[in-house]
Amino acid sequence: MPSTVLQEAAGRAGLGGETGLSGSLGGLSPRERDASHRFRRPEDRLDYHASHALFRLLAARRLGLRPADAAGLAVRRICGSCGAADHGKPAIEGVALSMSRSHGTVMAAAGPAGTSLGADIERVPGKMFAGFDEFVLAPEEREAPDGPGLPSPQLSNAGRIRWWVAKEAVLKAAGVGLAVPPSSVRLVPAGIGGTSGPAGPAGPFLAECAGNTAVHGLLVTPVPAPEGYAAAVAASECLPLRAVSLAEIFATKV
């Protein structure tokens, strides 16, 4: 959802505080506040605050708490590679969570505790960076009808971003990030209605990654996103997916 929409909804609910999402609703930790100062543009800082606020709000809803309790939830980080607690994927006790932000839009997902969960949203750019297909797509995913190993002329930038968010969601769920090259992950139809085509993955997909048990076997599903964006959610099991409106979140009662 747009960051500004979340900010306005928080204000109407009386949870924004004088400083907006960085105030009583966001409840940013000192470390998060320091991190937000890295962004020079106010829009980028708003995205950061909004994604962390939505992250806490979804956690509070999943835990049966009020929206006003979201700011008090303790967020911890654990690095999936080295086990350090000063960086890595953010987490809140009792619920599986993931968040993402991209150019004025934020996304968060919540599920049962103990589930490996990853969410990603990205805006479709006007131009892809050089070497995108080689970095993101597995060799089988780059095959064109007229020969293997050639990028398909039918694959649009929107289709490429759909592959990107699907791979990113998988790597987030595994807790490894881009330490594992996206091209080493192959997405295949999961046998429950999944298809692929010129527009990119249409899901659900099963992730195959030889030699990486954290990634191999995860399920990823593209989900609806605002116009000009693509989004996906990955999990260690087949979970029912349902969009939750801001009205539902702010109406949550204990």
Does 63 score more than 60 pLDDT? yes
Task: For strands 205-208 and 186-189, give the pairing.
Answer: antiparallel
Average pLDDT, the chain: 83
Domains of the chain by start residue, with CATH: 1-115+239-254 (3.90.470.20), 117-238 (3.90.470.20)
**pLDDT, tens digit, for every residue of 65-86?**
988 888 888 888 877 667 666 6
pLDDT band at 58 (very low <50, low <70, confident <90, very high): very high
Predicted local confidence at residue 18, as pLDDT: 40
Over residues 34-51, the mean pLDDT reads: 86
What value does the mean pLDDT take over residues 148-155? Answer: 65
Tell me how far apart the alpha carbons of residues 103 and 227 are, in angstroms, rounded to a whole number: 13
Mean pLDDT over 153-179 rounds to: 89
- Confidence band of 24 (pLDDT split at 50, 70, 90): very low
d(CA 23, CA 148): 53
Averaged over 14-22, what is the pLDDT?
A: 54
pLDDT tops 50 at residue 19: no
- Which phi and psi angles does 53 have, rounded to 5°? -65, -45
